[in-house]
Amino acid sequence: MSHSHHGHSHHVSNYNRAFAIGIALNIIFVVIEAVYGVLADSLALIADAGHNLSDVFSLMLAWGASYLAGLAATEKRTYGLRKAPVLASLASAILLLLALGGIAWEAISRFGNPAPVEGMTMIVVAAIGVLINTLTALLFFSGQKDDLNIKGAFLHMAADAVVSLGVVVAGLFILFNGWFWIDPVISLIIVAVILVGTLGLLKDSMNYALDAVPDSVDIAALKHYINDLESVERIHDLHVWPLSTTEIALTVHLVVNDTKLDNHFLCHLQQHFQTHFDIAHSTIQIESSSAEQNCMLDNDHKPQHEHEHN
């Protein structure tokens, strides 16, 4: 006897407006920064305009992935394209690392040859950057704790805001003290700070892409709960993985000594998984302990199999 039970929970906020506003603001800023970079003969501003343009592409990537995740499942892709935001967050982390590498390389090269910069132009343009990037980051602030894709967008914008703030500080030192060397020093400090958050995003994205158990799920507590259920003698073939950046799935086989378990039991289990472990999509198979033949996946009770199925 086997029953399967599926629960779907789609609490994905609609960030279309946030993406649209963020992309529009950043395109405007890229144009402003590039124009004033040319007028002030500032390689730093022109280079930062190129960096901000890459962030526009990152926002477009995250937006596209968010749209794809909402598409209906097909016979070919039975889970739809829910993994698209995972791939987008992974790409976002890699793009961030490349951008940080570029900033660090530029900063190190400037130690040997500090470039004279128009301090006031640098301060004004960078201050606009702080404002625009902070506003864009705030659009994604509420969703970045629950969605890796949104976290990637948030980190890009927050990183840009911090970089622009660093440029403002460097511009002030250059304007009043003529310390051209402060620009690369502040750049390297900023790179080190942002690198910590970026590595965290990269690690989480890699784990999600490889279907690792999400950090939010205490797998030991989950096993303990299931094994302590009345009528359950043992479990096997337990799998927990991220369906997308916002949904977690579970499959498990329960070997029970009560053949009269009904849908109420399954509904209770599914509800508990969702409430206590944030697992919205669960599939549960019930097997009788008195059956003459064990499930082919029940490797713990098949000595001839050397490999245990985790």
Positions of the chain with pLDDT lower than 70, given as ranges: 1-14, 41-44, 114-118, 292, 300-310
User: Structure tokens of 302?
Assistant: 């098949």
Instruction: Count structural domains, the chain.
Output: 2
Helix (H) or strand (E) holding 64: helix 43-69
60-73: pLDDT as tens digits:
988 999 889 888 88
Domain assignment present for residue 164? The answer is: yes
* CA atoms of 141 and 145, how far apart (whole Å): 8
Residue 195: its pLDDT value, please?
87
Mark whether 26 and 124 lie in a shared domain: yes
Mark whether 167 and 42 lie in a shared domain: yes
Q: Are 157 and 166 in contact (CB under 8 A)?
A: no
Where does a domain end: 180, 209, 238?
Answer: 209
Mark whether 56 and 106 lie in a shared domain: yes
In the DSSP assignment, the letter for residue 292 is: S
Q: What is the DSSP string of 126-166?
A: HHHHHHHHHHHHHHTTTTTTT-HHHHHHHHHHHHHHHHHHH
Q: Are 161 and 134 in contact (CB under 8 A)?
A: yes
Q: Are 309 and 299 in contact (CB under 8 A)?
A: yes
* CA atoms of 71 and 82, how far apart (whole Å): 8
Task: For CA atoms 156, 161, 167, 173, give the dihedral sign.
Answer: negative
Q: Are 162 and 189 in contact (CB under 8 A)?
A: no
Q: Please give the backbone phi and psi of residue 243, each rounded to the nearest 5 degrees, phi first.
A: -70, -35
Domain assignment present for residue 307? The answer is: no
Where does a domain end: 178, 209, 240?
Answer: 209
Domain assignment present for residue 98? The answer is: yes
Residues 6+ apart with CB under 8 A from 228: none
Q: Are 2 and 288 in contact (CB under 8 A)?
A: no
* CA atoms of 310 and 307, how far apart (whole Å): 9
Mark whether 191 and 105 lie in a shared domain: yes
Closest CA to 145 of 58, 61, 215: 215
| Sheet of strand 248-256, all strands in order from the earlier edge strand to the far edge | 232-242, 248-256, 281-288
Residue range of the domain that includes 278: 219-301
Mark whether 188 and 278 lie in a shared domain: no
Where does a domain end: 209, 231, 260?
Answer: 209
